[in-house]
Amino acid sequence: MLCVEEPIGVKEAAQVPQQRAEPLLDAAVRYTEERHWDVCPGTWLEPADGTEWCSCGEARCTAPGAHPTRADWAGQATGSGAAAHRMWSQHPRAAILLPTGRAFDAIDVPESAGFLALARMERLSLPLGPVTRTPDRRMQFLVLPGAAAKADGLVRRLGWSAAAIDLRGRGEGHYVTAPPTRVGGSGAVQWARRPTTANRWLPEVEELISPLAYACGREAADARTRLS
């Protein structure tokens, strides 16, 4: 049986706080020192012929300036502020990649569903960790490690298929692209809910999965209706 919750009004959608410009080097060091997150430098954007290309050299790169530089990228990640400072001093425009499955996992959802879920979570005073918003209209909710392995089963218990409603768990072997990394000409990754002292302790996935699944299910149903 499907889990039914009260409708969420579009007017209640959570707002993205105003973002401040910050050098990538400063952000990478801050993540290691203030949050104790591992960071890994990724690719970057290179100006050429009046435009910008990914440093990987691939003309059809799907995430220009925002993906790992090599297959063993996870082993390159560091939790040292000094090491992060050295890495980004060498490549100041390198993307900041945060490996999942270490200090946190992430639940990745469509942006429209993410805002609906955020509004409900805040109304219910549910515990929230940091939340990113990407230029390709995705949002990642940071939760305690182990969430990726549980996500499919938890969503199934609520009556949905995680794949069908476009809800994805990111755990070991994956990463979150951190603000203020730019992704091609699409814009920069932002914090929908930035890291603060108030959200230092991340929630369990069980605390957030119901509003996330409901919002994703609703958005998937609306999309089907628009296509019919």
Amino acid letter, 64 = P
**Cis check: omega of the bond before 7, within 30 degrees of 0:** no
Q: Of 121, 105, 103, whose CA–CA distance to 167 is shortest?
A: 105
**Could you tell me where the beta strands, DSSP code E, fall in the chain?**
40-41, 45-48, 51-54, 96-99, 105-110, 131-133, 138-143, 168-170, 175-177, 190-193
Distance of CA 123 to the CA centre of its chain: 22
- 73 DSSP assignment: H
Q: Does an H or E element contain 32, and which? A: helix 24-34
Per-residue model confidence (pLDDT) at position 224: 82
Distance of CA 30 to the CA centre of its chain: 17
Cβ atoms of residues 32 and 79 within 8 Å: yes
> Where do runs of H (alpha helix) occur along 35-124?
73-76, 81-90, 111-123
**Cis check: omega of the bond before 180, within 30 degrees of 0:** yes
Per-residue model confidence (pLDDT) at position 4: 40
pLDDT in tens, the chain (228 residues): 344 444 434 334 555 555 555 899 999 999 999 999 999 999 999 988 888 999 999 989 999 999 999 999 999 999 999 999 999 999 999 999 999 999 999 999 999 999 999 999 999 999 999 999 999 999 999 999 999 999 999 999 999 999 999 999 999 999 999 999 999 989 999 999 999 999 999 999 999 999 999 999 999 998 888 887
Per-residue model confidence (pLDDT) at position 6: 42
Using DSSP's 3-state secondary structure scheme, residue 66 falls into: coil
Show the tokens assigned to 127: 């515990």
- Is the pTM value of this prediction over 0.85? yes
Phi, psi angles (nearest 5°) of residue 179: -60, 150
Show the tokens assigned to 168: 């994805």
